[in-house]
Structure formats: C-alpha cells, structure tokens
Amino acid sequence: MFSIIQAAGWPIWPLIACSVLALALVIERFISLKVAKIAPPKLLDEVLMVTRQAVPGPDVVSKLEKNSALGEVLASGLGALNANPRCSEDELRAIMESAGRLAAHRLERYLSALATIASAAPLMGLFGTVVGMIEIFGSQTPTGATGGNPAQLAHGISVALYNTAFGLIVAIPSLIFWRYFRARVDGYLLTLELAAERLARHLNTLRK
C-alpha cells in the first residue's frame, strides 16, 4: 500500500485525507441516523394514548423531548399547550413546525460535507493527473523525444494513473452514501411531519 502511495506522488495525500474524512462522516451518520434515535415506531401511538384524556405535565414532556427527534417535535406541541392552554391551532402548528426545522437541520448535518467530497475528489484526481502529465513532458529530451529520463517518465505515468483512479475510488462511495443518507433523512422528515400533523389534529380535538 505504501509503495502505491509513494508511486502516486504528493497529490495523493489530499485524496487520502478526503477518504479518511468521508469514512468518518459515513460512520457518524450511520450512528446518528438510527431509527431509535430519530423516529421510534411506536412513540406517536404512545403519545396519543397518554394524551387521550389530558395534556401530560412538564415532567413527562421533558422526558419525551429527550427521547428522540420525533419526541422533541411532539414535546414542543405539548409544551406549548402547557404554557398556554388557549393557544390557537395555527400557533400550535407553527411551534411544532419550528421544532421540526431544528430537527431537520441536525439530521442534515455533515451531508453537505460528504457531497462536497464526492464532487471534489474527481477534480483532485484530475489535478494529480495533470501533475503526472507535467512530469511526463519534463522527461522529454531537448529534441522532443520521450525517454530522456525513463525514471521520471515512469513516475509521471504512475502519478497520473494512480491519482485518477484514487479520485474515483473516493468519489463513487461518497456519492453513493450521500444519496443513501439524503433519502433516509427525507424519509425521516416526512415521518416527523406526518406525526406532528396527526398530533396537532388530536390535540385540537381534545380541546374541543
């Protein structure tokens, strides 16, 4: 492995840094975007059951808020009713929508960085290719024939090819994981939106 890095020359090091960063981001997103941390399947039904007769107190709302991203959104609506039982349905929806935007911001964290790596890695590989081509032309003799410096010619070819390949190796998985996490976040956001809408209707019916 080290011999490949050595043959690829110094342009490979930024690509290696990008690959390490991309791997760290992918691992972090896999851990952070677990279903249990974002939208536990039975949480909404439990909240609807608890609020069947009345809105729970601040202690229950505080525990719900710490449960997950979905719990935070639902707790914002319950907390709004605890603070102001006469708040309108529009105000209640606005409060839950604001909590949903904050949750969405956290869910989308680091995705832009992963997308940037997926976009930049091929360009960095292309830069390494250009550096390799410069070395190839530098190996020419004054008459214009190649082969004046075989070692420099071989190194230039290695730099060009290895950097091109490694740029694609970094970019393709980064793009795949970015699309995967993007779809996963969109699914979570839809779940949060539908749950908030359902709770808002339930609470409005409860007050009537």
pLDDT in tens, the chain (208 residues): 666 666 667 878 899 999 999 999 999 999 999 998 999 999 999 998 988 888 888 888 899 888 899 999 999 999 888 888 888 888 889 999 999 999 999 999 999 999 999 999 999 988 888 888 887 776 665 555 544 567 777 777 778 888 888 999 999 999 999 999 999 999 999 999 999 999 988 888 876 6
- What was the pLDDT predicted at 83? 85
**Cα(112)–Cα(114) distance, rounded to whole angstroms?**
5
The residue extents of the domains of the chain are 2-207
Q: Which pTM value belongs to this model?
A: 0.83
Residue 66's CB: how many other CB atoms inside 10 A?
9
**Cα(29)–Cα(107) distance, rounded to whole angstroms?**
9
Phi, psi of 60 (to 5 degrees): -65, -40
Contact status, residue 170 vs residue 48, Cβ threshold 8 Å: no
